[in-house]
Amino acid sequence: MRPPSEVLPHRPPFLFLDEVTAMVSGQRAEGCWRLTGDEPFFAGHFPGRPTLPGVLMAEAIAQLGAYIVLCDDRFTGKLPLFGGLDRARFRRQVGPGEQLDLQVEMTRLSARAGWGAGQASVAGELACSCELLFVAVDAIA
């Protein structure tokens, strides 16, 4: 599998997918984000109890979804953008030094949009789940 930085347009400090560990093209993937504790958001969220912001967990799930989409030849030259985030639930705090294991399954793909569902967990314990909607636009305006 290609490294996320070769597939996704995201770059540090906003690339939250370290590795893709399994993928069925156009359908599903698994990956991870390893939190070192050096990420700048931990300093302010929250002092004394550093916690990964929930919206960044949802973004990491979405980035894995974007990886699935961008590996599909139908989306060459496209950029998948968030169209919606539904049923987001946050079940566990995630802190420095933990690995966020990600799973996404695309439930429907069309030429201009797609739907999927994903989750993030730490050591088998669910941290976040959500449904994603994306729209595909031209990568270069």
Catalytic residues: 45
DSSP string computed for 67-120: HHHHTSGGGTTEEEEEEEEEEEEE-S---TT-EEEEEEEEEEE-SSEEEEEEEE
Residue 75: CB atoms within 10 A of its CB come to 21
Distance CA 37, CA 40 (A): 8
